[in-house]
Amino acid sequence: MITVAEFARRRRELMRMAGADAALVVAAAPQRMRNADAAWPYRQDSDFHYLTGFPEPDAVLALLPGRARGEVVLFCRERDPQRERLDGPRIGPDAAAARFALDDAFPVEDIDDILPGMLEGRARLYCHFGRENEFDAQLLRWMRRLRSSRGGSVVPREFVALGHLLHELRLYKSPAELALMRRAAKVAADAQLAALRAARPGAAEYEVEAALLHALRAHGAVPSYPPTVAAGANACVLHYTANRGKLARGDLLLIDAGAEIECYASDVTRTWPVGGNYPRERRALYEVVLEAQLAAIDEVRAGRAFTAAHDTATRVIVAGLCALKLLPGSPRAALESGGYQRFFPHKTGHWIGLDVHDVGDYRVDDEPRMLEPGMVVTVEPGIYIAPDDTSVPAKWRGLGIRIEDDVAVTARGQEVLTAALPKDVATVEALVN
């Protein structure tokens, strides 16, 4: 759990970074409609959540460093018994300030009258532009209000993209964040095992998905992204989510599924054999991916470049593909030509946190970023061979293998948050059998 005190610490740190003459404005995610009166499940905006923990739509946070009458101001929906009968309870401005340790809270209907005055005289305004049309329009409206009220001199001189400061903060996970991510990892691991139990020859991919979702929801989690449950050649589609195919004995089954707990994500992939042991060729490829993944995890250390894991995984995969004669010539030549990208077309990982593909710059001063304690990455090399790839003998075709874990950089090395989920061949085959 993230405490109210930790949310407050984040706001203070962000205000310190922005400076005493700045203002910062962050909006909640809007409620999005699926069609007619049916809404998509609500998920708070990650930045807004990071700074408030406030769970409702139609809210705006204003941070006003040094403001005598309160630095931290929330605008949110008022209580409304009739609407609350339909949609559930609202917190309301009166309760919000105390419950979330804010200095003040106002009805969001009044924001156009109140917020412009709060921005008056601030040198810089930090916010997100170009994300939400409604927010962009609101921002311009507030500026027009300011201009018309006092003759134009009080509008902030600079508008600054908020992400540069805020996403730098989000990149370093606190002990409480890591604890939530460990839980999200554990739930995803349990869900993979539940899915594996449903992965019998003849089953449909959606039956396996159902077991997976059941396990996630049984822990109070939601999927952190639409799960991929891909048997055989379906796994060649990297973001496959149709999950309508059938499992056949001897297929590989790629399951890429994550849990989200209190807005924190996990992102886990395993590639299981259906109905028994890994068939020979598939096992050989699986072992290449596993070797690449283990070598790449070893590169996740403070002081190593973010790119080191990918470089290492690529070297191992290319060497393996050459040894199996799936790539012609020497590993060096294959690395240089880039011909291996047909089989390994993606990068080895990404930041993970509140977002599955989390925020934070991957390059600093045009150099790959160095890893530091508190950063969390995924490590997910893969090999994919299309069903119609006639450049390789037929026995290799129509499969996708990926192994993905979430790995936190620690002071002394790394912590594999998803380590509970087996991936070595002997343990996996024992589980399946």
358 near Mn ion, rule: CB under 5 A: no
Q: How far is the CB of 357 from ligand GLY (least distance, A)?
A: 6
Name the binder of 104 from ligand GLY, Mn ion, none, CB < 5-8 A by kind: none
> Smallest distance, Å, CB 140 to Mn ion?
37
Contact status: 222 vs ligand GLY (CB under 6 A):
no
Enumerate the active-site residues: 37, 239, 256, 267, 346, 350, 357, 380, 384, 402, 404
How far is residue 140 from each of residues 18, 107, 116, measured CA to CA in Å?
21, 20, 10
Q: Does residue 225 touch ligand GLY according to CB under 6 A?
A: yes
Q: Using the rule CB under 6 A, is 47 a contact of ligand GLY?
A: no
Give 160 or 416: the residue with its C-beta nearer to ligand GLY: 416
What is the pattern of x (binds Mn ion, CB under 5 A) and - over residues 363-382?
A: ---------------x----
Minimum distance from residue 86 beta carbon to Mn ion (Å): 36
Q: Which of 209, 380, 405, 406 binds ligand GLY (CB under 6 A)?
A: 380
Among 47, 177, 205, 256, binds ligand GLY (CB under 6 A): 256
Q: Can you read off the two tokens belonging to residue 180?
A: 């939530």
Could you say whether residue 260 binds ligand GLY (CB under 6 A)? no
Q: Residue 267, interface with Mn ion (CB under 5 A)?
A: yes
Least spacing, CB of residue 294 vs ligand GLY, in Å: 18
When the beta carbons of 227 and 398 are compared against ligand GLY, the nearer one is 227
Query: Closer CB to ligand GLY, residue 104 or residue 267?
Result: 267
Q: Taking CB under 6 A as the criterion, which residues in 401-430 touch ligand GLY?
A: 404
The yes or no reply on residue 358 touching ligand GLY (CB under 6 A) is no
Size of the site for ligand GLY (CB under 6 A): 6
Nearer to ligand GLY, 127 or 356 (CB): 356
Contact flag: residue 299 with ligand GLY (CB under 6 A): no
Residue 177's binding partner out of ligand GLY, Mn ion, none, with CB under 5 to 8 Å set by partner kind: none
- Secondary structure of the chain in the HEC alphabet? CCCHHHHHHHHHHHHHHHCCCEEEEEECCCCCEEECCEECCCCCCHHHHHHHCCCCCCCEEEECCCCCCCCEEEEECCCCHHHHHHHCCCCHHHHHHHHCCCCEEEEHHHHHHHHHHHHCCCCEEEECCCCCHHHHHHHHHHHHHHHHHHCCCCCCCEEEECHHHHHHHHHCCCHHHHHHHHHHHHHHHHHHHHHHHHCCCCCEHHHHHHHHHHHHHHCCCEECCCCEEEEHHHHHCCCCCCCCCECCCCCEEEEEECEEECCEECCEEEEEECCCCCCHHHHHHHHHHHHHHHHHHHCCCCCCECCHHHHHHHHHHHHHHHHCCCCCCCHHHHHHHCHHHHCCCCCCCCECCCCCCCCCCCEECCEECECCCCCEEEECCEEEECCCCCCCCHHHCCEEEECEEEEEECCCCEEECCCCCCCCHHHHHHHHC
172 binds ligand GLY (CB under 6 A): no
* Closer Cβ to ligand GLY, 207 or 267, answer by number: 267
Interacting residues toward ligand GLY by CB under 6 A:
225, 256, 267, 356, 380, 404
Interacting residues toward Mn ion by CB under 5 A:
256, 267, 269, 378, 404
